[in-house]
Amino acid sequence: MADADIGLAHESPEQRLGRLGIALPPRPHAPIGNFANVRTSRGMLYISGQGPVTPDGTYLTGKVGADVSTDDAHDHARLVGLNLLSVAREAAGSLDRIAGVVKLLGMVNAVPDYRDHPRVINGCSDLLIEVFGPDGVHARSAIGVGSLPNQITVEIEAIFELAG
């Protein structure tokens, strides 16, 4: 391992965010139903499904494979990842208190014959690996659905493990 790689291996998630120039939404968006954004239990953060909502509250909508391209949906999934991290940071106090990403469930609002769900959800997965390094590698499911709330393109829920 090169000296530069060794330094990166010891970087905390919050330090990685800064180095990568990634800004998280300052406050998580309020749930749109009768549930909480996050539940902490036995050292785990269970984060409810988050969508591609911009900091100003705009929902990114459409049907992937019809009026939204795979590349755009991939970017929407990355935005969902930022929203998941915002919820995680608020719940844990700092992303440095998170030991790793355990599991994602990614849902893509897609046309019936759409086949590239994993590529879309990689937008979120890639972000989490950028932020948490090897501790960001997770189990995952990526599925297509006929619709999502507010016609959003992507919804992703996550489970994070808290440190010690």
CA contacts within 13 A on the Cβ side of 149: 10
Q: Where are the domains of the chain?
A: 3-162
76 in Cβ contact with 52 (< 8 Å):
yes
Q: For every one of its 164 residues, what pLDDT tens digit does the chain have, with 9 covering 90 and above?
A: 444 444 456 899 999 999 999 999 987 777 777 788 899 999 999 999 999 999 999 999 999 999 999 999 999 999 999 999 999 999 999 999 999 999 999 999 999 999 999 999 999 999 999 999 999 999 999 999 999 999 999 999 999 999 98
- The CATH number, out of the four listed (3.40.50.300, 3.40.30.10, 3.10.270.10, 3.30.1330.40), of the domain defined by the range 3-162: 3.30.1330.40
Total-model pTM: 0.92
Alpha-carbon gap, residue 31 to 129, rounded angstroms: 26
Q: Are strands 139-145 and 98-109 parallel, antiparallel or unpaired?
A: parallel
Burial class (CB in 10 A: 0-12, 13-18, 19+), 95: buried
Element spanning 85, H or E: helix 70-92
Please, what is the end-to-end C-alpha distance for the chain in angstroms? 27
